A and B are shown apart, each in its own frame.
Chain A
Amino acid sequence: MQALFAQLLVGLINGSFYALLSLGLAVIFGMLNIINFAHGALYMMGAFVAYFLLNLGGINYWWALLLAPIIVGIFGMILERTMLQWLTGLDHLYGLLLTFGIALIVQGVFQNYFGSSGLPYAIPDQLRGGMNLGFMFLPVYRGWVVVFSLVVCLATWFLIEKTQLGAYLRAATENPTLVRAFGINVPRMITLTYGLGVGLAALAGVLSAPINQVRPLMGADLIIVVFAVVVIGGMGSIMGSIITGFALGVIEGLTKYFYPEASNTVVFVLMVLVLLVKPTGLTGRAA
């Protein structure tokens, strides 16, 4: 029983990453209608930026949490301005292919310079050590990841669903011409939204840097699972992607305990089941 609790908690930790990443994807898909396959590469860039800030600039983890999403977010906005914006109105497939190509290029460049085994990034001193919870030893850093990503996820949800700015955003995706008529700069808003989604990916990257090695392929390994999460949650649904992110982390964690061999396929099995029963995803709206 104790072991089960521990596995649930560990699942929740992985779920945090799924939630943060799928949230970014959902925001981008919901607002821009782009299936952002470059998300994994941008997550990886977040981790690398944290590494460079620390090793070249002596800038610590806490500043990296703030700076890396901004830096990678700006990179994302440049991508949107120079390439993605021309795809507005075209089939999803074009955006998917373009971002997939960008992901391959970015990963290839990083791999060429930094190899495949990765670079070390230490846990910040303030978050070292662990607590004995009775049923398990919980590293402080993992606890921090769960709490912090939960806060970020809810804040993003609040921003988009409950504020004036969010209302403009949602309106702009429904009817850009009308919103523009109100004097709102829609293209700029879309660029900023893409920057926000990308920033979330980079933030997840910084969070994961002390846990995993900072590796060029860290995003490629994760992105497919995250896409499955988004599909299960329902494309474009903000709350849906947060909840499914955490839930699938837990389910995967339990699989690692009961039948570890299936732990990297269980998410896809679920995806198939959900698509068979409810093709729009658990919380998705009909297209």
Chain B
Amino acid sequence: MHTKSIAAFLLGTALAITATGGALAQDKTVKVGVLTDNSGLYADLGGPGSTLAAQMAIEDSKLATKGWKVDLISADHQNKPDIGTAIARQWIDVEKVDVFMDVLNSGVALAVNNVVKEKNSVMINSGAATSDLTNAQCTPNTVHWTYDTYMLAHSTGQALVKAGGDTWFFITADYAFGHALERDTAAVVKAAGGKVLGDVKAPLNNADFSSFLLQAQASKAKIIGMANAGGDTTNTIKQAAEFGIVKGGQKLAGLLLFLTDVHSLGLNVAQGLNLSSTFYWDMNDQTRAFAKRFAERAKNKAMPTMVQAGVYSGLLHYFKALEALGGNPHDGAKVVAKMKEMPTDDPLFGKGSIEPNGRALHPAYLFEVKAPSESKAPWDYYKLVGTTPADKAFRPLSESACPLVKK
């Protein structure tokens, strides 16, 4: 009896080992999870559009014709870090999700970042802004694809200080993202010789900004930096017009403005605003072709935002890495290492690379919102003012606090 059970145990183990061994070499299944805000204030800039972008990346990668089986699921984290991490754990443990896409909202992203590292999964973050994801909080499992607060601060902040905006007041969303954006922008302003006169931390998802705008007005700062996003930014801009802030000589700086925000405000209100982005649908033939295909399938025929574009191209690069590995090792750090090894190249963000800290590099563009008379077609909103090359757009490795960066 005793020897029999030992033999059975050994046989079982041997079978199990061969089974996993085989899987390592040939497993061609991938499960993609889009974790985003499907119902709240960021749902238009990411949300269902991010899931659509992931779907398009799966189709365009043609993995199915090469013998791969790719599944896609999506969930709403409701902008709550606790819900985000609960979904992340369930996705990894039960659903066997291999890669987390989008994960907008910096608070949720930082929380999920820890789970993804602990469970050796992969996060290709497109929507979260905080530069901490590739700085102090960097992990070998996370790639930050589209943009970050450092890029926004440098591109928009520097341009405005150069144009004479040397005193600033910040209206900041009171959570990880707003704090990071204010910190990074204030550093740029000070480095360029400007001064920060004050700030106010407004609760997330606030409807009335008049109190905060009055404080900004009283500060007499030349620039009012809006370190917030989505509905918060559009309400701030709209109400600033009401309180005669721009007419009074102060200038608004939308530190993070998305295409959908401009669409929602209308050009009458939004014209003249400067903003930074790493993607705009009307850049070249390739972006236009993608945007056209995207809009046909999107809700309300909306053009893709940079977050949605980032989901598409980030996922394409992930698939390339899997193909190069010859199968899915289900080992997050290994896949991300491969992604960093390979240069990035896709129709939306062009040629680039991924730094050891997980930061994807590509050029950043400074845009100005067109006046209604300049806009020739629906969604024709931006004109290009300046370009920061890929190697200058993001935090240099020499300044990085990421432990993965060897100095």
Alpha-carbon gap, A247 to B5, bound state (A): 78
A263 CB-CB contact with B under 8 Å = yes
Min distance, Cβ A54 to any Cβ of chain B, angstroms: 13
Q: A213: shortest Cβ distance to chain B, in Å?
A: 5
| Complex interface: chain B residues within 8 A of A120 (CB) | 238, 264-266, 268-269
- CB closest chain-B residue, reference A112: B299
B residues in contact with A88, CB < 8 Å:
none
Knowing A117-B45, A117-B261 touch, does A261 contact B203 (C-beta < 8 A)? yes
Assuming the contacts A120-B265, A137-B217, A213-B264, asked whether A256 and B239 have C-beta atoms less than 8 A apart, the reply is no
CB contacts (< 8 Å) of A260 on chain B: these are: 174, 200-203, 211-212
Residues of A within 8 A of B242 (CB): 123, 130, 139, 141-142, 211
Q: Evaluate contact between A116 and B44: CB separation under 8 angstroms.
A: yes
Tally of A interface residues using CB under 8 Å: 40
Contacts of B212 in A (CB 8 A): 256, 260
Contact A215-B231, Cβ < 8 Å, known A10-B214, A117-B45: yes
Docked complex: A78-126 residues within 8 A CB-CB of B: 111-120, 122-123
| Residue in chain A with minimal CB distance to B265 | A120
Whether A212 contacts B235 by the Cβ 8 Å rule is yes
Which residues of B lie under 8 Å from residue A257 when comparing CB positions? 211, 215
B371 to chain A, nearest CB (A): 16
Chain B residue at minimal CB-CB distance from A137: B244
List CB contacts (< 8 Å) of A208-234 with chain B.
Answer: 211-213, 215, 217-218, 221-222
Identify A221's interface contact among B174, B205, B266, CB under 8 A: B205
Indicate if the CB atoms of A115 and B260 lie closer than 8 Å.
yes
Chain A residues lying within 8 Å of B263, measured Cβ to Cβ, are 117
B375 an interface residue at 8 Å Cβ cutoff?
Answer: no
Q: Are B41 and A211 in contact (CB under 8 A)?
A: no
Contact residues in A for B201 (Cβ distance below 8 Å): 260-261
A115 touches B43 (CB 8 A): yes
Indicate if the CB atoms of B244 and A111 lie closer than 8 Å: no
Given contact pairs A137-B243, A211-B239, A264-B203, A118 touches B234 in the complex (Cβ within 8 A): yes
Which residues of chain A from 1 to 23 have a CB within 8 Å of any chain B CB?
3, 6-7, 10-11, 13-14
Asked whether any CB of chain B lies closer than 8 Å to the CB of A253, the reply is yes
Task: Give min CB distance, A218 to chain B, whole Å.
Answer: 7
Cβ of B208 within 8 Å of any chain A Cβ, yes or no, is yes
Question: Known contacts A136-B214, A260-B212; is A221 also within 8 Å of B47 by CB?
Answer: no
Determine if B329 is an interface residue (Cβ-Cβ < 8 Å): no
